[in-house]
Amino acid sequence: MELRLYDTLSREKRTFVPLDAKEVRMYVCGPTVYDFAHIGNARPVIVFDVLFRLLRHLYGEAHVKYVRNITDVDDKINDRAARDFPGLPLNEAIRKVTEQTGRQFHADVDALGALRPSVEPRATEHIGEMREIIERLVAGGFAYAAEDHVLFSPQAMNAANSGLPRYGALSNRSLDEMVAGARVDVAPYKKGNTDFVLWKPSKPGEPSWPSPAGITAQGRPGWHVECSAMAWKHLGEHFDIHGGGIDLVFPHHENEVAQTCCAFHRERMANYWMHNGFLQVESEKMSKSLGNFVTIHELLADWPGEVLRLNMLKTHYRSPIDWTMKSLEESAKTLDDWYRVAADVVPGKPAPSVVEPLLDDLNTPLAIAALHGLRGSDVGALAGSLRLLGFLSESAAQWEGRKQQASGVDAKEVERLISERTAARARKDFAESDRIRDLLAAMGVAIKDSKEGTTWEVAR
RNA sequence: GGCCACGUGGCGGAGUGGUUACGCGCCGGUCUGCAAAACCGUUUACUCGGGUUCGAGUCCCGACGUGGCCUCCA
């Protein structure tokens, strides 16, 4: 069976045919490292990790190249640096912010069971490529310098009309309407009100680099051109898959396409544009003002990363998802069960009943339903399938031990109470045995009696 | 205002014309000193109004509701 993926540009599911089966190439927009990543940021990380794993399964581990960038030059970073480290020179403070945040991001996504991408380029290490693209755009008449800025003109792009995509095609907008509907307060140096920034001057003390397009003042890149440059450097002018959150379709991805296609005179940048849907928290939009801003870091204090991962994959990646505590509890329960029955068995090959839904535009909910089916029929295939999806990274004992550790329960004390209870039961002193059971329950310990004896675990 | 998603049983969530989704919960049973856990079994649905069709949750039109983008928020 073949892989089919939904492409935002053509607005249909299409059979996936890689440009080069020896090197399948995927780019996903990564974080801007200025603060803890929130649970919404985790969605593309997890979704495209599943796709990465699936592609490796299909084409071989050595034949998939996954690039996810780190944006480490940005206004928000500058603001954060100035606020958090007022005593330091700005550039030093910025380095602290990006290093700390980058480290935290890696810790978070590792815990979510996401494989590291093949390459994680940093924007600040690709300024040369950005300047190159900008120079090409200026030379081609698609961009111009004005007051130390370089601006891209979508109108020039659509006027060229020769082997280029139409600006607006990806986000399904007409440039004319955008011109008409644009805000009034357009910067005076812009020729057209839809022109966007490729390069801008740096304020004193901010990170800065020599400017392109004959500008003498030092400057820094705009956001959109960073991704064009990093994708070009690591994947070439034309590659297979470009992914990100649906909110990035416009303007970010629309502008990326414009920059890359105009710089290299191409009709396409990526053959498949994939976008994950939005996430709400307890039926509300996540925002700092509502106070429901949930970071991955905070959630990881209460839940194993795989619980967050499963919770995310229970919904199809293009559908909206409502992130709730109830749903997390359910996911935790499911994983407890899978760990119990499958973590320590020899994994078999991933089952077709699991792989086939994945081949149909990453239908993870249907794949998960198939896992429930395997649970009763073939635990070897269950184990293999779970591993394909990035689960079962530890043993059953480690899984249980982690819960125990997080709860702070004293295992020795529990064992002592259980043997007391066993003795009480043996002499039919049920009042005493029930008292001990209640005591353990109050400690957060759940008892399980069976013919082989009594076991226990930390109740969640 | 423009563009675009989504609306399935108590809850989550698949299903692009025709047989049980699946999971959690509830309920019943087995087990148990009683429970819990485990195992077995069972129940409930397709926002509303039209239309197409032998047949629609599934296609078309409309309404209502929710959400997203149109400001460098995934």
Q: Quick one: pLDDT at residue A117?
A: 96
Q: Quick one: pLDDT at residue A391?
A: 96
Q: Quick one: pLDDT at residue A328?
A: 93
Q: Quick one: pLDDT at residue A23?
A: 97
Q: Quick one: pLDDT at residue A1?
A: 66
Protein-contacted bases of chain B (C-beta within 7 A) = 1-6, 11-16, 21-25, 32-40, 67-74
Sorted by where each begins, the domain ranges of chain A are 4-276, 280-399, 408-458
Which of residues 144-203 of A have CB within 7 Å of strand B?
171-173, 177-178, 181-183, 197, 200
Residue A36, judged by CB atoms within 10 A of its CB (0-12, 13-18, 19+), counts as middle
| Residue pair A378/A348 in contact by the 8 Å Cβ criterion | yes
Q: Quick one: pLDDT at residue A445?
A: 87
A243 touches strand B (CB under 7 A): no
Q: Quick one: pLDDT at residue A183?
A: 55
Amino acid present at A173: R
Per the structure, the residue whose CA is closest to nucleotide B23 at C1' is: A369
Which CATH number applies to A4-276: 3.90.1170.50, 3.30.365.10, 3.40.50.620, 3.30.70.100? 3.40.50.620
Mean pLDDT (chain A, rounded): 90
A251 touches strand B (CB under 7 A): yes
d(CA A40, CA A274): 16
- In DSSP terms, which residues pair with A32 in a beta bridge? A71
The segments of chain A whose pLDDT lies below 50 read: none
Q: Give the distance, in angstroms, between residue A150 CA and nucleotide B5 C1'.
A: 35
A372 touches strand B (CB under 7 A): yes
Residue-wise over A309-331: b if at least 16 C-beta within 10 A, else e? bbbbbbbbbeeebebeeebbeeb
Q: Give the distance, in angstroms, between residue A121 CA and nucleotide B6 C1'.
A: 35
Q: Give strand letter and number of the nucleotide nearest A373 (CA to C1').
A: B22
ipTM field: 0.91
The SS3 of residue A318 is coil
| Residue pair A213/A240 in contact by the 8 Å Cβ criterion | no
